[in-house]
Structure 1
Amino acid sequence: MSLPHALLTSLLEKPSSGLELAQRFSKSIGYFWQASHQQIYRELVRLEKAGWVQSTANEGARGRKRTYEVLPEGKVELKRWIALPSEHKNLRDEMMVRVRAAAVVGPKGLTKGIEERLESHRKQLALYKAIRKKDFEGKKETRTVALQRRILEVGIEYERLYVAFCEDVLKELA
């Protein structure tokens, strides 16, 4: 996936200033595709130079606050990108290697790391469930809402799986 396409998607959902986009991004797409504010701002400049977005100065705003919106060429690019095949990426998780290593050299020191990871995944799971309740319960199930909800459900299942994994490993280590 590429950051430009993630930003085009987010701007099609709602035209925004760079700051608003970065804040919304970190609370949605950012859960599965991270980008710093600096990366987002740099990419917005590139998108504008490519003719995929345009920015307009916000009336009465202090500084250089601009609102970005997707141009027809940007929408064409996003449609082109959507149609491309998506490469499957294998899981790459250091914790899995640590558990495997503990199986052959002993688990000394591993418990604390697993407990920390368990807590982190429990918090993320609780956050995703809160988002589901706030953003999707009782909402009319349009195609857009259904697809966005499905992405969230994948995140929930991932967190549930990781919580169960950590709990199982801790039982084995006890």
Structure 2
Amino acid sequence: MSLPHALLTALLEHPCSGSELASRFDRSIGYFWQSTHQQIYRELGRLEAAGWIESLAPEGGRGRKRAYRVLPAGRQELKRWVGESNDPKPLRNELMVRLRAEAVVGPTGIARDIERQMALHLAQLALYREIETRDFSRVDPTKADALRHLVLTAGIMTETLWVEFCRQALAVLAAPGD
């Protein structure tokens, strides 16, 4: 995934200032595509230079923030990108290598870190379920709402998987060894 396409998506959902975009990004797309505020501002400049977005003159007096909106060329680029085909990315997770290393050099005390990671996954799962209850309780959702909910559901499933994985790893680590 690319940051420009994530930003185009967010701006099409709601044109806004760079600071508002960065804040919204942290609370939505940022759950599955990490980016710093500095990267977002830098990318906004590139998107504007490419003719995909434009910044609007601030309304009102001094201190007002410049808002951004997507231009037709930006919408077209996003449509092109969404229509591309790509292969799933292979899993690249340090914990998997550390568990393999535990099998060779253990015991190392890795269980403490797995407990910590499980707590983080449980907290993220609770947050996702809270968002689901708050934002997706409509009886007759629109297609756009259903797609957004589907993305959240993937997050819920991922966190559920990691919680279960951590539980299983802790059980194996606690079992009597060879």
Asked whether the two chains share a fold, i.e. TM above 0.5, the reply is yes
Alignment correspondent of 2:144: 144
Deviations for 1:25-52, whole angstroms, at most 9, x for unmatched residues?
Answer: 1111111111110110011111111111
TM-aligned CA deviation for residue 88 of structure 1: 1.7
Matches within 5 A, 1:1-174: 1-63=1-63, 65-138=65-138, 140-174=140-174
Deviations for 1:140-165, whole angstroms, at most 9, x for unmatched residues?
Answer: 31110111100100110110010011
CA distance in 1, matches of 2:107, 2:59: 61
Runs of 4+ in 1 over 4 A off after TM superposition: none
CA distance in 1, matches of 2:97, 2:10: 35
For structure 1, the residue ranges without an aligned partner over 5 or more in a row are none
CA distance in 2, matches of 1:159, 1:123: 9
Find the residue that maps to 2:54 and give its secondary structure.
Answer: strand
Q: Percent identity?
A: 57
CA distance in 2, matches of 1:61, 1:111: 56
For structure 2, the residue ranges without an aligned partner over 5 or more in a row are none
CA distance in 2, matches of 1:146, 1:131: 14
Cα RMSD between the aligned structures?
Answer: 1.2
CA distance in 1, matches of 2:144, 2:68: 21
CA distance in 1, matches of 2:108, 2:122: 24
TM-aligned CA deviation for residue 138 of structure 1: 2.3
Task: Count residues in correspondence.
Answer: 174
Q: TM-score, normalised by structure 2?
A: 0.93
Find the residue that maps to 1:141 and give its secondary structure.
Answer: coil
TM-aligned CA deviation for residue 84 of structure 1: 1.1
CA distance in 2, matches of 1:51, 1:121: 40
- Aligned letter for 1:163? V
CA distance in 1, matches of 2:167, 2:144: 35
- Aligned letter for 1:94? E
